[in-house]
Amino acid sequence: MNLFAIDWNSSGVIFDLDEKRKRLKEIEEIISKEGFWDIPEDTRDILRERTAISDTIDSWQKITHELDDAGILLGLAVEEDDQTSVQEVSETLHGLEDAISQMTLARMLNGKDDAKNAIVSINPGAGGTEAQDWADMLFRMYLRWAERKNYKTTVVDFQPGEEAGVKGVTFIASGPYAYGYLKGEAGIHRLVRLSPFDANNRRHTSFASVSVSPEVNEEVVIDIEDKDLRVDAFRASGAGGQHVNKTSSAIRITHLPTSIVVQSQQESSQHRNKAIAMKILKSRLYEREEKKRADARQADYKEKEGIAWGSQIRSYTLQPYQMVKDHRINLEIGNVNDVLDGNLDPFIEGVLLAKP
């Protein structure tokens, strides 16, 4: 007798798994078709999806097997009054509870773009060096979060501040469901602290904007006309080798109808930087259209209210007390340093689980 029956149907997991098994069969049929492996770039996303679905199915099977084993062990332990085994079963159940919570979270990552890589841009609000330093702190926070997730990060544009911080930075987070996790980070982030740039050590409030878009696949067609683009070449301002500040290899592209501006300066080749910038632009335009069609979570960051009071999604307070608060889910965490060091999962998961 199974002493730990879980109503998987009421949780929706069985339905999801049936759909995932069906999709996995479809993927295997696609992979088996002649010519599938001819263009490696086109196979990346389908193989990533297959891996993600297989991992979900394997996780569910492992949970059910461990649950059955725990039920058998508890039955024997009760019969023999073996308290050590009872404790072992208790520890196993706590671990299974965590695993089930993770599967519940995985169900929230069901958007059609959630499995894609994420393109993240961080821009300071008004406030000069103070705001630019805050943007740099956010940049470091997301890099540390990506390290914890074993994601690869690639900086495609970095504009250093004149004294400290950054005037703007864009990077790509590459890994399973990077966009699904990070999409909820889009919005205004507010910092309150005693400013290290104020000789009188006064408390300052700073704002920065975070924009997140899915990395668009090559097969996604985005209609961009040449007449709608202004392309400017300039000298790269960040680290990058001998070519930096010697050749105009960096590229800035302005999409005139939407005023979206993207840059790339990571490569020494102007041609490569233009290709990267165009990829980012396509991703931004794709995300913009998706938001329009879906009446999405928020307007494109170019159309947001000013980066100022009342529009923030999260506040980070260092003075007069320490607290990080997400205003959407009313989650508060007192260990600010841990959050700024990349421990964002409580906020990211909380926002996902709160999704209707």
Residue 261 and residue 167 in contact, taking contact as beta carbons nearer than 8 Å: no
Tell me: pLDDT of 300 over 60: no
Looking at residues 239-247, what average pLDDT do you find? Answer: 48
CATH of the domain spanning 8-108, picked from 3.40.140.10, 1.20.58.410, 3.40.50.720, 2.60.200.20: 1.20.58.410
Residue 120 and residue 182 in contact, taking contact as beta carbons nearer than 8 Å: yes
> How many angstroms separate the Cα of 225 from the Cα of each of 182, 255, 271, 345?
30, 9, 18, 40
Cβ atoms within 10 Å of 140's Cβ, excluding its own: 12
- Which residues are CB-neighbours of 75 under 8 A, at least 6 positions away? 1, 3
Domains 8-108 and 118-353 share a fold: no
Domain coordinates of the chain in residue numbers? 8-108, 118-353
> How many angstroms separate the Cα of 307 from the Cα of each of 83, 120, 140?
59, 17, 20
Which region among 12-21, 26-35, 63-72, 162-171 has the lowest average model confidence (pLDDT)? 12-21
Answer yes or no: pTM beyond 0.85.
no
pLDDT in tens, 153-206: 999 889 888 888 999 999 999 998 899 999 999 999 999 998 888 877 788 899
Residue 152 and residue 174 in contact, taking contact as beta carbons nearer than 8 Å: yes
DSSP H helical ranges for the chain: 8-11, 13-32, 40-80, 83-108, 129-148, 178-182, 270-294, 336-340, 345-353
Report phi then psi at 39, rounded to 5: -120, 95
User: 118-353, what's its fold?
Assistant: Alpha-Beta Plaits (3.30.70)
